[in-house]
Chain A
Amino acid sequence: MRATAPQHPSVNGKSLLRFLTCGSVDDGKSTLIGRLLYDTKLIFDDQLATLEKDSKKHGTTGEEIDFALLVDGLEAEREQGITIDVAYRFFTTDKRSFIVADTPGHEQYTRNMATGASNSDAAVILIDARKGVLTQTKRHSYICALLGIRHVVVAVNKIDLMGYSRQVFEHIVEDYRAFAAALGFASITPIPISARYGDNVTTRSASMDWYQGPTLLDWLEDIDVDTDLAAKPLRLPIQWVNRPNLDFRGFSGTIVSGAVRPGDKVVVASSAKESRVKRIVTFDGDLAEARAGEAVTLTLEDEIDIARGDVITLTTERPEVTDQFAAHVLWMADEAMLPERQYLMRIGCRYVPARITALKHKVDVNTLQHLAGKTLELNEIGFCNVSTATAVAIDPYVDNRDTGAFILIDRFTNATVGAGMIDFGLRRATNVHRQDLSVNKAARSRIKGHKPAVLWFTGLSGSGKSTIANIIEQKLNARGIHTYMLDGDNLRHGLNRDLGFTDADRVENIRRVGEVAKLFTDAGVVVLCSFISPFRAERRMVRELMAEGEFVEIFVDTPIEECMRRDPKGLYARAKEGKIKNFTGIDSPYEPPELAEITVHSHHTGAEAAATRILDYLEASGIV
């Protein structure tokens, strides 16, 4: 990464702050913005006259001016006295320019609140001094954190109605901090204010000697949210291919992070095609360098194939390219999110079909607890595995908002139904450009005369997995079917020699097994995998590596008492003595499968009968 110069000083010396106001209904968000516009002289005389007229008609403040009417621009909003949609307002002081997103407090409009947060660098979270921290306060704080806002003001509003009480303020602040500790904000600044009367908004309150901190405007003018995007790795999503004539082929887009110069060695992230930058073309002349935020057109030294949606980066700063990743998704439609349903994803300048393959958990935004769930309803947030039809270049959202965010679009109505923030890629190996080989899985399968499959035996230690798997492998071999057995012991002596038995190592163990099994299925082989594999998530991860119908999960459901009685390797005895840590069933959990293709009770039926049942299944499903 190259060193970068300080941010360009602007001619008028001002930086821009984009922030949002949020909080529960009636906490006074719109009033606060009206107050800020009024106090910074951004309201014109004719607007003030209209406001006075409107205040008498719709206002909720009696004879006084209702500042909320300045921003609640929709008829329905003025009639109901609430904010429905996000409004953007601009104001400026001698120090800074501001774009403020005024967002709705009602739970049903949470998606509009998230919209405001997605383009903001700071948040003013209002709390009504009479009501304290409410559900919506927590919801909005969580969404702010999720969308990457790092600095917040907790504006305890209507403090005038509580007699400007220090105790009330401090009590609310204490409550808020207790809740927000888990959200990881870089800074939380509490300020007691009265938006209606202007206390501590732009001018210091005469009624609160006990408060020594900044006014809201002081904070907004001084808060440092600069993330030096130009210092990050180069990401240039291509928007439009610029071809005025046969002699010019340019790639137009806005640099979302990093910087680029003529001569730089660049690469198209998804195809791994490389070239060098020839020119950086703009209407105002060629540039010697272009940086984050600039809309430019590049020409390259070589004729390589680049289309809209590709991401250009430096060869030394490549993003991950993957078709599977984990992400937090906020659902924004009345119709629930369904796993495996195909949506259209927009990420950067690319549209790609995508599915949510697994909802790992939902987040209860009030308690931040993880909840189990199958679907996401309107305004719910879930942690999901996402699979795209073709591999895309991604960065974690915390590193880059532009390459780490996506929206999901309903394929029928074209409505925007979900917003996602990428946590991490699930298949790091795809950083390596895969070779397209002409002899493929189908071709290999054809000469074998059977389909590949993974028979995944899961169950407690001593449940009889390996015994049953051995019987099946013998029978398949006798029928001329190509098989291979992977079991915990043989892999742990070689490939996985470096792994222990902590939860993290167990996950990695299974991931490697999954990848090995996948190579075997690619070779056309029926793979028998015999692993305790106690966690559902990892079994699901392996399942998702395979093609539809290829993964057969077999639950060898032997009660722990029976396994302990058998104890073929003496492991239970040693675990009970505390000589083995993290032993499944003793001091580490086993999560039984919910949707196994086959469940066998070999302790009742015997291993031979269990094997027969499994073979019947393989025949019925056309694998052998």
Chain B
Amino acid sequence: MTKRALEQPSAAARPSPLSAHLRRLEAESIAIIREVAAEFAHPVMLYSIGKDSGVMLHLAAKAFYPSKLPFPLLHVDTTWKFRDMIRHRDQIAERYGAKLLVYVNEEGLARGVNPIASGSSLHTQVMKTEALKKALDTFGFDAAFGGARRDEEKSRAKERIFSFRAAGHVWDPRNQRPELWRLYNTKIRQGESIRVFPLSNWTELDIWEYTRAENIPVVPLYFAAPRPVVNRNGLLIMRDDDRLPLLPGEREEIRKVRFRSLGCYPLSAAIESNAETLDDIIAEMRASRTSERQGRLIDTDEAASMEKKKREGYF
């Protein structure tokens, strides 16, 4: 590929035209993304490397074409992401010609917070939620895109597309701004911010169908392959490096697995699967009887745990 092609990805070679449904979703998301660029002084797009982030970034490229993205990408790195994810992140930033910021909560690292010794809850709190808030404050961002979808989780189903955060990034679910028509209220005062969710009305299946139709690159971990995993409390955890110690009685085995959702590797459970292509994944999803967040260990810590994390500033 020429350098120009790298900078300006094009969907010219895509296999199938978009369905009316996906075109509707695409247009709605583009309008939301443009709105932020037009109204905010310092927007940023949270890029988590997953399939949703991939779609969101692709939509942003479409929204501003032929201009480049008028905002940077931000990845909050917990230092426990799969190695494949980090590789993918750097390739994608280059492919879309985007400015990529990576933020690590060094203070948390220095305190030795990690998902294994500290537990998923503290690790997420310090290395994701607090890290995110510090990053937003450090760079002075007044609007931040997130790839969350309303079908993921029931407190997300209640959140606005333009979701207001008081100073300190606090979300007050009982006092959200009414959001009528497409008339988003983008007005904030100093210190306040808005989280914006352009994929609110997408479902997991929409994401995969769009990814296929638009040839959007995804992390290889979404496709089934033989991988080294341990069975811990019935969940298959992949040993991405040797920081994950084996507990007594545990042994590493090679199984053909893939991930429906990607996060920190010790906190993301794999599923056994033979889905090696996007077509396979879509077929598997249609037949699935479990939700995608089932493999996310942070959600099951306590009842209403997502809402609690969101109120504290988690995406």
Contacts and interface: CB of A to CB of B under 8 A. Distances in A.
B66 to A, nearest CB: 5
B177 interface: yes
Contact of B19 (A11, A54, A409): A11
Interface string B27-71: 100110011011000000000000000000000011111111000
Interface in A334-350: 344, 346-347, 349
B89 to A, nearest CB: 22
Contact of A415 (B66, B177, B181, B294): B177
Given A73-B154, A254-B31, A10 B65 contact: no
B78 interface: no
B181 A119 contact: yes
Contact of A11 (B17, B38, B176, B294): B17
Interface stretch (A210-218, A237-245, A426-434, A606-614): A237-245
Would you call the interface of chain A mostly helix, strand, loop, or mixed? mixed
A185 B290 CA distance: 40
B188 interface: yes
Contact of B30 (A74, A254, A405, A419): A254
B183 A346 contact: yes
Given A70-B154, A406-B183, A295 B178 contact: no
Interface in A42-75: 44-47, 54, 57, 70-75
Contact of A414 (B30, B185, B307): B185
A236 B27 CA distance: 14
Nearest to A243: B67
Contacts of A119: 180-181
Interface in B199-252: 200-201, 203
A255 to B, nearest CB: 9
Interface string B126-158: 000000000000000000000000110111111
B6 interface: no
A202 interface: no
A272 interface: no
Contact of A332 (B19, B178, B307): B178
Contacts, number: 176
Interface in A252-293: 252-254, 281-285, 293
B290 A90 contact: no
Given A87-B154, A115-B179, A115-B180, A409 B38 contact: no
B277 interface: no
A419 B180 contact: yes
Name the interface size band of chain A: 35 or more
Choose among A57, A244, A281 the residue with the greatest number of B CB atoms under 10 Å from its CB: A244
A308 B38 CA distance: 8
Contacts of A74: 155, 158, 173-174, 304, 307
Contacts of B2: none
A318 interface: no
A416 B185 contact: yes
Nearest to B26: A295
Contacts of A88: 150, 157, 200-201
A14 B187 contact: no
The secondary-structure label for the interface of chain B is loop
Interface stretch (A78-86, A446-454, A503-511): A78-86
Contact of A73 (B27, B63, B65, B155): B155
A436 to B, nearest CB: 28
Contacts of A15: 20
Contacts of A351: 187
A254 B37 contact: no
A419 to B, nearest CB: 5
Q: Which of B65, B181, B304 has the most CB of A within 10 A?
A: B181
Interface string A553-576: 000000000000000000000000
A75 B153 CA distance: 13
Given A74-B307, A416-B178, A10 B66 contact: no
Q: Which of B20, B30, B290, B294 has the most CB of A within 10 A?
A: B20
A3 to B, nearest CB: 20
Most chain-A CB neighbours within 10 Å: which of B26, B178, B182, B187?
Answer: B178
Interface string A1-26: 00000011111101110000000000
B176 A240 contact: no
Contacts of B201: 88, 90, 99
B203 to A, nearest CB: 5
A118 interface: yes
Interface of B: 10-12, 16-21, 23-24, 26-27, 30-31, 34-35, 37-38, 61-68, 150-151, 153-158, 173-174, 176-183, 185, 187-189, 200-201, 203, 288-291, 294, 303-304, 307-308
Given A118-B181, A407-B183, 20 more contacts: A11-B17, A14-B21, A44-B288, A46-B291, A47-B291, A72-B154, A75-B308, A76-B174, A88-B201, A90-B201, A112-B178, A240-B34, A253-B34, A254-B27, A254-B30, A294-B27, A295-B27, A295-B34, A349-B35, A409-B185
Interface of A: 7-12, 14-16, 44-47, 54, 57, 70-76, 78, 84-90, 97, 99, 111-112, 114-115, 118-119, 239-240, 242-244, 248, 250, 252-254, 281-285, 293-295, 297, 308, 332, 344, 346-347, 349, 351, 401-402, 405-407, 409, 414-416, 419
Question: Which 7 A-B pairs rank lowest in CB-CB distance, beginning with the nearest?
Answer: A73-B154, A10-B20, A11-B19, A118-B180, A295-B30, A244-B67, A283-B65
